Amino acid sequence: MSVIDYIAENETRFLEELKDYLRIPSISTDKEHAGEVARCANWLVDHLKGIGVEHVELHETGGHPIVYAEFMEAGPDKPTYLIYGHYDVQPPDPLELWTSPPFEPEVRDGKIFARGATDDKGQLFAHLKAVEAHLKINGTLPVNVKMLIEGEEEVGSVHLDPWVEANREKLACDAVVISDSSMYAKGIPSIMYSLRGLSYFEIEVTGPSHDLHSGLYGGAVPNPINELGRIIASFHDPDGRIQIDGFYDDVRDLEADERQAFADLPFDVEAFKAEAGVNDVQGEAGFTTLERKWARPTLDFNGIIGGFTGEGAKTVLPSLAKAKFSCRLVPDQQPHVIEELVEAHIRKVASPNVKVELHFHHGGKPVITERDNPAVQAAMRALKKSWDTDPVFIRGGGSIPVVATFAEVLESPTVLLGLGLNDDRLHSPDEKFDLENFYQGIRTAAYLWDELA
Amino acid sequence: MSVIDYIAENETRFLEELKDYLRIPSISTDKEHAGEVARCANWLVDHLKGIGVEHVELHETGGHPIVYAEFMEAGPDKPTYLIYGHYDVQPPDPLELWTSPPFEPEVRDGKIFARGATDDKGQLFAHLKAVEAHLKINGTLPVNVKMLIEGEEEVGSVHLDPWVEANREKLACDAVVISDSSMYAKGIPSIMYSLRGLSYFEIEVTGPSHDLHSGLYGGAVPNPINELGRIIASFHDPDGRIQIDGFYDDVRDLEADERQAFADLPFDVEAFKAEAGVNDVQGEAGFTTLERKWARPTLDFNGIIGGFTGEGAKTVLPSLAKAKFSCRLVPDQQPHVIEELVEAHIRKVASPNVKVELHFHHGGKPVITERDNPAVQAAMRALKKSWDTDPVFIRGGGSIPVVATFAEVLESPTVLLGLGLNDDRLHSPDEKFDLENFYQGIRTAAYLWDELA
């Protein structure tokens, strides 16, 4: 029997096992559920041993435990891959909006509905079942496989980074495979090969040392909101291009074939506008919407406050105005460089009559895994074999911090093999996972080990 | 005996009477003090009758009562003047910061300390004592005098406007005299002949219909804070000149002699900067600080809020940003015209991709009493006689709404004869009134009736 036949023959059992996994309310944000989170980690340990992965470790972290496993019998001349996933889930509230209870998985219309179905229990489980199929049919895996499954992804992976750093050698690998994101669309298998990074700022502008009466002082002293407005406006030109000296210096231009590939993707701008609730799209001139959100850097204000914000009118000339803003960064921009450029820009444009303070919040580097990376190419072949259609390359506009951690600490590229769909309602009621994607995901993961070998 | 001799002879008694008046805690903002406010109104009625003003009326308003009095025996061929003042006071809190209790008046170093000493009991009382002196010495007044003394000035004069409108004929006069403001400085008697008006706006800018993730949408949709920043910045050019089409069309230029008069006033810019707590003054190019705050229109933001304003960082692309801003207006700008111009400007500069809503709060017209107005000239002569120095013309940067009411409803100019000082701490602990100003004020008011006749 082939690995693929084994998968087909066991689909029903795989689904029942996934239901067992989904029944555990491993809600990491809720202290009262800590016992359930621990039970889920132990369930995984037992399940991994049950499918034939003998080397399984449970690591306490100070928060929720990390499950680590490895199967190294392919030998030192074979490549090694790390599968990352998480077994914790978001809280299910508001409960009354669920069609069926969040921890009583129910299949309807070819989808399984439960909290964690797509984020990330179902997607990770596909990899476990592919490992099982290889071990049952071949008694081994064609490559060495390590697994890192954390229980704190939904609470910011607070203990993961130090653990990865402390276990750098244990985790050494040729590439990381993560299934914790979405395909471009139903029936369009995809590899996400780049994510944007982030620089996050807070600015405080102080004019007078205390609030003043706008009648007695207005027109004769600097107003911090007026001045902050000037600073906000200074960041973009009318073409939506960011006007910070040097800001684009490290931006890697989109290659012609990337732009063509994005242009070839089905994209319904009206649907995008409706989803965002905007009159029209708006952004940097000369780029499409997909290019703007995937491959161009941004500067967006996230919040602002100053002066009188209550009901009615108060003729105050305020002392202070402050705002938060952030840049989404693209390869090869570096957060620390962008911080310096933003600071220099503000020093240049701000009135000398106001006091301007700039604080830096966390930053994150953008990541890109070259499309010709062997692991990426292997994943593309595996996708094509299982889906019988050409997979596409996509990028992501947000950040997945763990990807940057793996790039920095392990110096390993990551293959983002999303099995979810954009309408899977992760973090919301009626979260679901498409069963076709589940079974195709198992097949893709099974093919992947052969292709990687 | 002359009126002036009578005043000199009775200074001590006048002061004791003022203390009685100040002992009444007529705090209009505090419902529990309503009885004391009423007692204060009755004290005034009795006092007016006691000094020989027989026609005194007490009007209920639905709030605190209005005291109205008139002495019309000068006859119909003599001019008629209206004295406006208020007998209510601000709350005294924080009590622990008072050197002596707020309602136990105490004289220290030539000043009387009490809540209401300068705002407005002491200033109004000077006028009453001048009336008394005329009536005692001459048995009459050289002009007809009406008095309107309200008890709700510190709560926005809520019942005054309708009462003035309903009593338009009763209040008819050639000019209004108000002592409820400050002289330019100690020893520099002044007439304030112009006040700025106001237009107050609230703007709401909506981008996406709901908050979005800045990674998934950033760069591809309009950001309401970025857009509001552009609108804020669009209002001024680098010279601090307001860039709204037509904004300055109705602005009455300062006359050469006005600019000279302002320039001749002692003005310590370092003291002004310290008082405002600013690094430097800032405003419309080509104008001095006094000109900017007295005679030039402004556009100042009063408050702003939008997006995430809590601690830390949240990568939200917000749906909504809103702000409050207001223009101080100068003669002959009209609030309703400015509202139209501001709205047209915003329609012109705002991105069509965001929804912009503009709301109008209250407005107030700027006022100017021509310096050659006979009542103004009479007041200048009276000031010169009592102080034995040349009085100065000043303007005010704020608004005194009742002045606009008198201009509109009674069509009467107002003479602002401020007897206070800028450091009198009105609304604050240790409010005081300079006794030299009190006695000079009585003499000035006494001379004023002769000059007005």
Quick: pLDDT tens for B367-393. 999 999 999 999 999 999 999 999 999
Contacts of B355 in chain A (CB under 8 A): 279
HSE value, Cβ hemisphere, 13 Å, CA-based, for A377: 5
Provide the pLDDT confidence category of residue B131 given band limits of 50, 70 and 90.
very high
* Among B residues 192-231, those touching chain A with beta carbons less than 8 Å apart: 196, 198, 200, 202, 207-210, 212-223, 225-226, 228-231
Query: What percent of chain B is modeled with pLDDT above 90?
Result: 93
Per-residue model confidence as pLDDT tens digits over A64-113: 999 999 999 999 999 999 999 999 999 998 899 999 999 999 999 999 99
Give the tokens for residue A262: 């994005």
Quote the pTM value. Answer: 0.90
Asked if B179 and B442 count as a contact pair (C-beta separation under 8 A), the reply is no
* Residue A286: Cβ within 10 Å count: 11
Asked if A347 and B298 count as a contact pair (C-beta separation under 8 A), the reply is no
Average pLDDT, chain A: 96
Mean pLDDT of B333-360: 97
Catalytic center residues of A? 88, 153
- The kind and range of the H/E element at B41 are helix B34-50
Tell me whether B396 touches chain A (CB under 8 Å).
yes
Q: What is the pLDDT of residue A399?
A: 86
Asked if B379 and B451 count as a contact pair (C-beta separation under 8 A), the reply is yes
| Domains of chain B, start order | 3-195+366-452 (3.40.630.10), 197-251+297-364 (3.30.70.360)
Task: List beta partners, residue A200.
Answer: A326
Task: List beta partners, residue A236.
Answer: A242
Instruction: Name, in order, each residue with C-beta under 8 angstroms of B80's C-beta and a sequence gap of 6 or more.
Output: B72, B143, B144, B145, B146, B172, B173, B174
Cα–Cα distance between B226 and B233 in angstroms, integer? 11
Mean pLDDT of B65-89: 96
Q: What is the pLDDT of residue B312?
A: 87
Whats the size of chain B, residue-wise?
A: 453
Q: What is the pLDDT of residue B410?
A: 96
CA distance B139 to chain A (A): 43
Task: List beta partners, residue B145.
Answer: B71, B81
Tell me whether A285 touches chain B (CB under 8 Å).
no
Instruction: Check whether A362 has a pLDDT greater than 90.
Output: no
Per-residue model confidence as pLDDT tens digits over B291-338: 999 999 999 999 999 999 998 888 899 999 999 999 999 999 999 999
Residue B263 CB burial class (10 angstroms; 0-12, 13-18, ≥19): exposed
Q: What is the pLDDT of residue A400?
A: 86
Instruction: Check whether A329 has a pLDDT greater than 90.
Output: yes
Per-residue model confidence as pLDDT tens digits over B91-105: 998 899 999 999 999
Angstrom distances, CA of residue B360 to CA of A306, B326, B343, B399: 20, 10, 10, 18
Of A226, A310, A316, the CB nearest to B232: A226
Tell me whether A304 touches chain B (CB under 8 Å).
yes
Give the tokens for residue B220: 């591809």
HSE value, Cβ hemisphere, 13 Å, CA-based, for A415: 29
Provide the pLDDT confidence category of residue A401 given band limits of 50, 70 and 90.
confident
Per-residue model confidence as pLDDT tens digits over A222-275: 999 999 999 999 999 999 999 999 999 999 999 999 999 999 999 999 999 999
DSSP B220-282: TS--HHHHHHHHHHHTB-TTS-B-STTTTTTPPPPPHHHHHHHHHS---HHHHHHHHT-SS--
Place of tokens 């700027």: B366
Nearest to B189 by CA among B427, B453, B447: B447
Q: What is the pLDDT of residue B401?
A: 84
Q: What is the pLDDT of residue B254?
A: 96
Contacts of B235 in chain A (CB under 8 A): 226
Of A208, A213, A301, the CB nearest to B226: A301
* Cβ-defined contact of B283 to A354 (cutoff 8 Å): no
Cis status, amide bond into B94, omega within 30 of 0? yes
Mean pLDDT of A149-172: 94
Q: What is the pLDDT of residue B3?
A: 97
Q: What is the pLDDT of residue B453?
A: 87
User: What residue type is assigned to position A115 of the chain?
Assistant: R
- Give the single-character DSSP code of A179: -
Contacts of B307 in chain A (CB under 8 A): 301-304, 324
Per-residue model confidence as pLDDT tens digits over A282-323: 999 999 999 999 999 999 999 999 999 998 888 899 999 999
Average pLDDT, chain B: 96
Closest-CA residue of chain A to B323 = A309
Name the CA radius of gyration of chain A, rounded. 25
B36 flagged as catalytic: no
Give the tokens for residue A322: 């402050």
Mean pLDDT of A36-49: 98
Place of tokens 């007809």: B144
Cα–Cα distance between B64 and A178 in angstroms, integer? 73
Report the side by side order of strands in the sheet with B432-434: B106-108, B111-113, B432-434
Give the tokens for residue B97: 């910061």
Closest-CA residue of chain A to B225 = A301
Q: What is the pLDDT of residue A444?
A: 97
Pairing assessment for the beta strands A190-195 and A300-307 based on DSSP bridges: unpaired
Cα–Cα distance between B436 and B420 in angstroms, integer? 10
Tell me whether B354 touches chain A (CB under 8 Å).
yes
Give the tokens for residue B161: 């406007």
Give the tokens for residue B390: 């040349």
CA distance B38 to chain A (A): 29
Per-residue model confidence as pLDDT tens digits over B219-248: 999 999 999 999 999 999 999 999 999 999
Return the biggest CA–CA distance within chain A: 89
SS (H, E, C) B79-121: CEEEEEEECCECCCCCHHHCCCCCCCCEEECCEEECCCHHHHH
Instruction: Check whether B445 has a pLDDT greater than 90.
Output: yes
Instruction: Check whether B57 has a pLDDT greater than 90.
Output: yes
Instruction: Check whether B426 has a pLDDT greater than 90.
Output: no
User: What residue type is assigned to position A305 of the chain?
Assistant: I
Provide the pLDDT confidence category of residue A340 given band limits of 50, 70 and 90.
very high
Cα–Cα distance between A20 and A24 in angstroms, integer? 7
Cα–Cα distance between A259 and A180 in angstroms, integer? 25
Query: What percent of chain A is modeled with pLDDT above 90?
Result: 93
Instruction: Name, in order, each residue with C-beta under 8 angstroms of B206's C-beta and a sequence gap of 6 or more.
Output: B224, B319, B320, B354, B355, B356, B357
Q: What is the pLDDT of residue B399?
A: 86
